[in-house]
Amino acid sequence: MIEATGRFFRSLTGRLLLSAILWSAAALAVGGMLLSFAFRTYVLTDIDRKLEMMIDTMVGISEISPEGVLRFNQPLLDQRFAAPYSGWYWQISELDSQPFRSRSLWDFELAPDLDHRAFSLKLSEVPGPDGQDLRVAERDIILPEADRIFRYQVATDTGEVRDAIARFNWLLMGALAFIMFTVSLALVIQVAYGLRPLRNLRRSLTAVRSGHKERIDGDWPEDLRPLAQEINALIDQNEKLVDRARTHVGNLAHALKTPLSVIMNEVENDTSKKGQAIALQAKNIREHVDHHLKRARIAGGGSGPGLPIRERMEKVARAIARLNRDKDLEVTVSCPEDLKFDGEKEDFDEILGNIVDNAGKWASSVVTMTAQRTEENLRRPYMDIRVEDDGPGVPAEERETLFERGKRLDEHVPGTGLGLAIVRDIVELYGGTAYLDEAKLGGLAVVMRLPAK
């Protein structure tokens, strides 16, 4: 799961989606914080304005009685100042005197700092009665009737304000989450729609590689049309180069065969040391020529819908059993009905024929062929084919040398030593692997991994 997620975010689709979603989320987060800050600032500014207006109102109705006591010449109309702990309070204080305060404060008293003057409006937040948090506006005032400084304070509980800000923030978060979901969905649709031509191009390339199509055709967007044209040109050029190379290799090999045959015929009956040396080198050259002729015939392409292999394996099994009647050879096949080889029939026959022929030569009485789809998580489907015999086997340190051209461990057994070299060439051409192992029957096992359908 983690590996699949990592592959997705390393893909072009994943990178585009991740970058777009991250930038959108960052923009929405910054926008949300700005909106929340703006709303909080607006609400607090509105409260501060009301508190300042209330101070101005209190100053306007304040007077000094003949006894020198501060009083209001008319009552405040806001009844919240009369209800105990209502959340709205006022208080007027001066040094060395009891404060004049609203009934709503009841037995609570604000504690102004009268040692420091505040002739301009001062705002602060302090604990209030009944566990309230108060926002306080205060200002020092000198009334015309008295040469004394009075500290006017108006306070309000910020609980309702905090609740309003919290409700706004939750509503804002819900709205931003919905917007983020909508934007993300739109980005997924946009990226999926925008990258669809690239996915179609990839499928077209896969079809060309597997043999379903010869060229990339279709109506491509303006941005991809030059790329599709260049890929088609590359496919054409590659086909021409491969055909030219095969033709040249075939022509060269056939051109060498005739003089080689003449040389080998001339020295066939020459028993001298020089004649035997010439015959040996001519034989080696002939083996190299045969090897490259076989390589030139390798197709190496996809087979379109795939090649069913069970019938071909059974056909090879019957042929090898007939060739080794003297051993009463038993050849068994285990292969699913629906397993197909993603390649050319000639290549598969060349691979299987060489391996089973080699197994039949060395087996005592049994050869087994097993094919199954690999369970490993690979980028394309593969199958494993295992051919085993109950012969003498090959020591582990000598197995790899059998893949060398012309290498034979026993010169008394007929053959050219090219079979396994050809097998590895074809297998690697298809992007697979081939190696030798110890068989469960005691002999040698040849294991190949080939592309499957």
Distances (CA, A) of 214 to 3, 211, 220, 228, 306: 34, 7, 17, 13, 16
Cβ neighbours of residue 193 under 8 Å, at least 6 residues apart? none
Residue 119 located in a structural domain: yes
Please indicate, yes or no, whether residues 136 and 23 belong to a single structural domain of this protein. no
Instruction: Select from 157, 176, 203 the last residue of a domain.
Output: 157
Please indicate, yes or no, whether residues 150 and 170 belong to a single structural domain of this protein. no
Please indicate, yes or no, whether residues 411 and 427 belong to a single structural domain of this protein. yes
Q: What pLDDT shows up at residue 414?
A: 42
Q: What pLDDT shows up at residue 1?
A: 61
Please indicate, yes or no, whether residues 441 and 392 belong to a single structural domain of this protein. yes
Residue 50 located in a structural domain: no
Range of the domain at 71: 61-157
Please indicate, yes or no, whether residues 420 and 310 belong to a single structural domain of this protein. yes
Please indicate, yes or no, whether residues 175 and 111 belong to a single structural domain of this protein. no
> Alpha-carbon distance 344 to 112, whole Å?
97
Residue 226 located in a structural domain: no
Name the 3-class secondary structure at 344: coil
Instruction: Select from 157, 185, 217 the last residue of a domain.
Output: 157
Number of domains present in the structure of the chain: 3
Residue 324: Cβ within 10 Å count: 19
Give the CATH number for residue 92. Answer: 3.30.450
The pair of three-digit structure tokens given for residue 193, joined into one six-digit string: 């729609």
Name the one residue in this structure whose structure tokens are 């609740």: 163
Instruction: Select from 157, 179, 209 the last residue of a domain.
Output: 157
Q: What pLDDT shows up at residue 166?
A: 92
141, 59 contact by CB (below 8 A):
yes
Residue 85 located in a structural domain: yes
Residue 49 located in a structural domain: no
Q: What phi, psi does 409 have (nearest 5°)?
A: -85, -20
Does the pTM exceed 0.75?
A: no
Q: What pLDDT shows up at residue 187?
A: 87
The separation between the first and the last C-alpha atoms of the chain, rounded to the nearest angstrom, is 25
Please indicate, yes or no, whether residues 31 and 107 belong to a single structural domain of this protein. no
> Alpha-carbon distance 260 to 256, whole Å?
6
Residue 105 located in a structural domain: yes
Please indicate, yes or no, whether residues 15 and 72 belong to a single structural domain of this protein. no
Q: What pLDDT shows up at residue 349?
A: 87
Residue 100: beta bridge partners? 92
Please indicate, yes or no, whether residues 32 and 97 belong to a single structural domain of this protein. no
Give the CATH number for residue 416. Answer: 3.30.565.10
Residue 297 located in a structural domain: no
Please indicate, yes or no, whether residues 30 and 94 belong to a single structural domain of this protein. no
Mean pLDDT by 10 residues, the chain (453 residues): 65 81 90 93 92 90 84 84 90 87 89 87 90 91 84 91 92 93 89 83 78 77 84 83 74 74 75 78 74 60 72 90 85 90 84 87 89 78 90 80 56 46 82 86 88 85
Please indicate, yes or no, whether residues 115 and 7 belong to a single structural domain of this protein. no
DSSP state, 99?
Answer: P
405, 354 contact by CB (below 8 A):
no
Please indicate, yes or no, whether residues 22 and 150 belong to a single structural domain of this protein. no
Q: What pLDDT shows up at residue 168?
A: 93
Residue 89 located in a structural domain: yes
H or E stretch covering 64: strand 62-64
